[in-house]
Amino acid sequence: MPRPSPAGLLLGLLAALAVVCVASILLGSNRLSPVAVLDGLLHPGSGRDAAVVYGSRVPRTVIGLVVGVCLGVGGTVMQGHTRNPLADPGLFGVSAGAGLAVVLGIVVFGVSGTGASVGLALVGALLASLAAFAITVAGSGTASPVPLAIAGTAVSALLTAVTSFLTLADRDSLRAYQLWVVGSLSGRQLDEVWGTLPFAAAGLLLAAFNARSLDNLALGEELARGLGENLLVARGVGLAAITLLTAAATAAAGPIAFVGLVVPHLARAAVGSAHRRLLPAAALVGGLLVLLADIVGRLAGGTSEVQVGIVLAVIGGPFFVAVARGRSLVSL
C-alpha cells in the first residue's frame, strides 16, 4: 500500500483536528446533549447551556488549540537548533520566569485575577529568555545551542529557587502559584488571553522564516556557512520564535510539559524532516494532543476535572520513554 503524500497527511491531520475541536465543545463534565450545545452556540446569553458553552468549552478549546500549536512548533524549532531530541522549549527558563513573575505580582503588588496573571507571566517569560540569551552572548560571543541550553538551565534553577522561597514565605502566593503551575485550560476566558495572541502570531511567523535555516543547519554548521547561512542571525531568529511561542503558551495556560518534547518526533515520523512540512505538522499534532488530553481530563474526573497538565504528565512520560527507546524515534 503506497505511503500517503505529506500534503495528504497534513490534510488528514487538519481534518482530525477539526473533529477534536467539535468534540471539545460537545463533551465535558457538565453533560449536555448535542442539541443543547447547538442551541447554546446559536443563542449566547440565553441560559445555562449557553453559559457552559461560551463560558467554558469554547474558551478552553480555543486556548488549548493555541497552546498546542505554540508548544508543538516551539519544540520543533528548539530541537532543530540544539540537535537534541530531548530538548524542550522550557529549557530557556521561560516557564520559571513566568512562574516567578506571577508570584512577585501577588506578593509585591497584590495582583489577583487570571487576566493580570497572564500579563505578568508573559513579561516574566520574555525577561527570563532574554537573560539566558544575554549570558550566552556575553560569555561566548555567539548564541550557540549548548552554551545557551546551559545558561537557560542556570537561569531556570535560580528563578525556581527564588519562587520557592517566596511561596514558602507567603501562604496566599503559594495557593495562587499552585493553581497556576499545574497547567490548566479551565477557568480561562478568551478576553484574558487576547494579549498573548500577537506574541503567538509573531513566533509562528519567525518560525516559518527560520525553516530554511533549520534545514541548512541540519547539514552541519560548516556546510550551513558554506551555503551562505549567517549562524548568529539564524540562532537569534530561532530563539526569538521559541521564546515568543513558549511565553504565549505558558502565559495562557501555565507550564505544560511533554508537548514540546514529543510532538516534533510524532510530526517528523509523519511528514519527514523538511521543516516547510514539519512545522505545520507539528502545529496540528500539538493542537490535537492538548485538546485530546483536555477532553480525557474532563471525562475521567467526573464532576471534578483532571487538569490537562496532569493528564499530559501521566501519559507523556511513559510514552516518551517508549518512543525514545524504540526504533520509531526518528533521528535528527
pLDDT tens across 227-242, in order? 888 888 888 898 889 8
273 in a structural domain:
yes
The pLDDT, as a whole number, for residue 289 is 94
| Secondary structure letter of residue 326 according to DSSP | S
Q: At what angle do helices 275-300 and 6-26 cross, to 10 degrees?
A: 20
Q: Tell me the three cell numbers of residue 128.
A: 527570563
Q: What is the DSSP letter of 55?
A: I
Render pLDDT for 270-304 as a digit per residue (tens, 0 to 9).
898 899 999 999 999 999 999 999 999 888 866 67
**Quick one: CA dihedral 149, 316, 279, 326, positive or negative?**
positive
Q: 180: domain CATH number?
A: 1.10.3470.10
Q: Is the pLDDT of residue 330 over 90?
A: no
Query: Over 60: is that where the pLDDT of 133 sits?
Result: yes
Question: How much is the pLDDT for 2?
Answer: 61
User: What's the domain range around 203?
Assistant: 6-325
Residue 143 has pLDDT above 60, yes or no: no
User: Is position 46 within any domain?
Assistant: yes
pTM above 0.85, yes or no: yes
- Output the CA–CA distances (angstroms, integers) from residue 131 to 36, 93, 238, 240, in the order listed: 50, 9, 16, 13
| pLDDT surpasses 80 at 113 | no
Q: Taking Cα atoms as reference points, which of 263, 245, 246, 253 lies closest to residue 205?
A: 245
Give domain status of residue 183, yes or no: yes
Residue 178 lies in a domain: yes
pLDDT digits (tens, 9 = 90+) for 61-95: 999 999 999 999 999 998 888 777 777 777 778 88
Which H/E stretch holds residue 140? helix 114-140
Residue 242 within a domain: yes
Among 146, 139, 181, 179, smallest CA distance to 160 is for 181
What would the mean pLDDT of 240-265 be, rounded to a whole number? 87
Q: Which residue has the higher pLDDT, 322 or 169?
A: 169
Q: What is the pLDDT of residue 108?
A: 77
- Domain-located, residue 30: yes
The answer to the question of residue 190 being in a domain is yes
pLDDT the model gives residue 142: 57
330 domain-assigned = no
Grid cell listed for 217 = 543547519
> Does the pLDDT at position 152 exceed 60?
yes
Q: What is the pLDDT of residue 285?
A: 96
Query: Which of 59-73, 154-168, 191-205, 217-231 ranks highest by mean pLDDT?
Result: 59-73
Mean pLDDT, the chain, whole residue set: 82
SS3 percent helix, strand, coil of the chain, rounded to 5, is 80, 0, 20
DSSP letter for 57, please: I
Rounded to the nearest 5 degrees, what angle is found at the Cα of 134, between the Cα atoms of 132 and 137? 110
- Please tell me which residue, 203 or 257, carries the higher pLDDT value: 203
Total count of domains within the chain? 1
The confidence band for 327, taking pLDDT boundaries of 50, 70 and 90, is very low
**Measuring CA to CA, how many Å separate 150 from each of 5, 25, 95?**
39, 41, 16
